[in-house]
């Protein structure tokens, strides 16, 4: 048994599975559950750590400094739910089997419980078994009154300790909701409607075709897309990526960064706004960047993240110029210089986040259980 530790406790639970199983053929139902659990496991990769599979749920955890921004945790939950619902939709669309298991797959849904608390770790096989009252509370909260009182089937329930540790106090999509939990009493929680997230997930995407593209830079990063995304979202590391002295975020939407938010990038006395036009967590972000004086107009910067066997392939594209023709001509003339600066800034960013990630991992291993 190891010393007591603290972390975010994360339970992703497939809802409706007991009822689904009762009216379904076991062999086909088992295959459906396996596919969905594998999806949840894939989305609980680094910086999350899987503790164990629990029937129709996945129990994971992440140490407090695993994310530079609590908004990344929201992105993780939302991205997992959207992937889950799309998988269900695809199963329904491709179904040619008339058995109950395949016919009723659309009755399945997903809920999450996020709690911040203490535990001790016991190593069992290849997984860490987490033990303690806070672990019990996280699991007790799976049996709640959210559906009865709020009418939600798909949701994420954050305890107040998780919300506050993630710095999400100003996020307006989190609705206050109290639960009376046996042996724990009244527990203050906050609930996010994930059904609404899925309904908004099919917004138009922005791409740059060959006629619009001016510059492309690429780099390989030895860490997962979720980790790289977290660093990309952090003003402290974004200033390295774009070669700025300082970056601030304004116009948060509902208390969080997303479409419509603005990165204010400081270069001496000059401030260059970069407005977020598309926000696809762990995959893609598109900003409209105002050009520095004396140029006028703006351009698009598309950042792609693609998972690879060794980490993440990061691509940055510049193009989609909008403004006077003379200003675009000035920009094109300066492309050689711009490419040189952007290439160095990208290299500096990769080096900085790799170093920081190693240091974070070393801090975690000093407090985590020895394997």
Per-residue pLDDT of 341-361, as tens digits, reads 999 999 999 999 999 998 887
| Look-up of token digits 């001509």 | 329
pLDDT at 368 over 60: no
* pLDDT per position as a tens digit, 53-79: 888 899 999 998 888 889 999 999 999
Cβ atoms of 59 and 48 within 8 Å: the answer is no
In terms of average pLDDT, the best of 33-37, 240-244, 366-370 is 240-244
Residues 226, 195: Cα–Cα separation, whole Å: 22
Q: What is the pLDDT of residue 65?
A: 83
pLDDT of residue 56: 87
Which helix (DSSP H) or strand (DSSP E) does residue 263 occupy?
Answer: strand 262-267
How does pLDDT run across 171-198, given as a tens digit for each residue? 999 999 999 999 999 999 999 999 988 8
Helix, strand, coil content of the chain in percent (nearest 5)? 35, 35, 30
Report whether 237 contacts 68 (CB < 8 A): yes
215-267 residue pLDDT tens: 999 999 999 999 999 999 999 999 999 988 999 999 998 899 999 999 999 98
pLDDT attached to residue 182: 92
CB-neighbour burial class of residue 170 (10 A; exposed 0-12, middle 13-18, buried 19+):
exposed
Integer Cα distance of 45 and 30 in angstroms: 23
Q: What is the pLDDT of residue 9?
A: 96
Domains present along the chain, CATH in parentheses: 5-199 (3.30.70.1230), 213-364 (3.30.530.20)
Would you say 174 and 192 are in contact if contact means Cβ atoms under 8 Å apart? yes
Q: Which residues of 271-300 are buried (b: 16+ CB within 10 A; e: fewer)?
A: ebebbbbbbbbbebbbbbbbbeeebebbbb
Q: Which of 71, 68, 84, 63 is nearest to 12 (CA)?
A: 84
Contact present, 155 and 191 (Cβ < 8 Å): yes
| pLDDT above 60 (res 1) | no
Q: Tell me how many degrees the CA angle 29-32-34 measures, rounded to the nearest 5.
A: 110
Q: In whole numbers, what is the pLDDT of the chain averaged over residues?
A: 88
So what's the pLDDT on residue 230? Answer: 94
Separation of alpha carbons 47 and 66, rounded Å: 6
Strands in 166-261 per DSSP E: 175-181, 185-193, 213-221, 246-250
Asked if the model's pLDDT at residue 98 lies above 70, the reply is: no
Look up residue 203 and give its DSSP letter: P
Q: What pLDDT score does 55 carry?
A: 82
Nearest C-alpha neighbor of 137 from the set 192, 179, 86:
179
Backbone angles phi, psi at 196, to 5 degrees: -65, -35
Does the pLDDT of residue 370 top 60, yes or no?
Answer: no
Position 305 pLDDT exceeds 80:
yes
DSSP state of 204: P
Q: What pLDDT does 20 receive?
A: 73
What confidence tens digit (pLDDT) does each residue in 257-300 have? 999 999 999 988 888 899 999 999 999 999 999 887 777 889 99
Give residue-wise pLDDT tens across range 7-33: 999 999 998 877 776 666 666 677 788
Q: Whose CA is closest to 289, among 264, 314, 315, 257?
A: 264
| Residue whose token pair is 């672990």 | 135
pLDDT, average across residues 106-135 = 88
HSE toward the beta carbon, residue 151, CA cutoff 13 A: 1
The model's confidence at residue 162, banded by pLDDT at 50, 70 and 90, is very high
| Cα 361 versus chain centre, distance | 19
Per-residue tokens: 129: 């078994």
Ranges of H-type helices in 141-247: 146-150, 160-165, 194-199, 225-233, 235-241
pTM of the predicted structure, to 2 decimals:
0.84
């Amino acid at each position: 048994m190891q010393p007591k530790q603290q972390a975010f406790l994360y339970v992703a639970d497939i809802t409706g599975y007991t009822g689904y199983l009762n009216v379904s053929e076991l062999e086909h139902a088992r295959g459906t559950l396996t596919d969905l659990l594998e999806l949840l496991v894939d989305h609980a990769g680094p910086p999350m750590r899987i503790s164990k599979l629990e029937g129709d749920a996945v129990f994971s955890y992440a140490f407090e400094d695993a994310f530079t921004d609590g908004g990344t945790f929201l992105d993780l939950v939302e991205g997992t739910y959207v992937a889950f619902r799309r998988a269900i939709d695809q199963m329904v669309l491709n179904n040619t089997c008339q058995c109950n298991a395949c016919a009723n797959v659309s009755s399945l849904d997903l809920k999450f419980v996020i709690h911040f608390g203490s535990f001790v770790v016991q190593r069992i096989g290849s997984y860490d078994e987490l033990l303690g009252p806070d672990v019990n509370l996280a699991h007790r909260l799976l049996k709640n009154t959210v559906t009865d009182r709020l009418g939600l089937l798909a949701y994420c329930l954050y305890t107040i300790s998780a919300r506050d540790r993630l710095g999400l106090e100003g996020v307006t999509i989190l609705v206050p909701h109290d639960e009376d939990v046996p042996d724990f009493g009244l527990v203050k929680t906050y609930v996010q409607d994930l059904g609404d997230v899925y309904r908004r997930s099919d917004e138009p995407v922005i791409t740059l075709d060959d006629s619009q593209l001016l510059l492309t830079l690429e780099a390989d990063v030895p860490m997962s897309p979720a980790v790289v995304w977290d660093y990309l979202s952090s003003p402290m590391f974004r200033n390295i990526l774009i070669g700025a002295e300082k970056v601030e975020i304004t116009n948060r939407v509902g208390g969080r960064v997303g479409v419509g938010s603005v990165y204010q990038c400081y270069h001496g006395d000059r401030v260059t706004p970069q407005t977020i036009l598309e926000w696809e967590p762990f995959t893609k972000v598109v900003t409209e960047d105002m050009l520095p004086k004396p140029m006028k107009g703006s351009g698009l910067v598309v950042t792609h993240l693609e998972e690879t066997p060794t980490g993440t392939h990061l691509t940055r594209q510049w193009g989609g110029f909008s403004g006077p023709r003379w200003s675009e001509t000035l920009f094109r003339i300066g492309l050689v210089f711009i490419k040189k600066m952007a290439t160095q800034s990208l290299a500096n960013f990769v080096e900085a986040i790799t170093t920081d990630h190693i240091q974070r991992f070393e801090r975690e291993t000093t407090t985590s259980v020895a394997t």
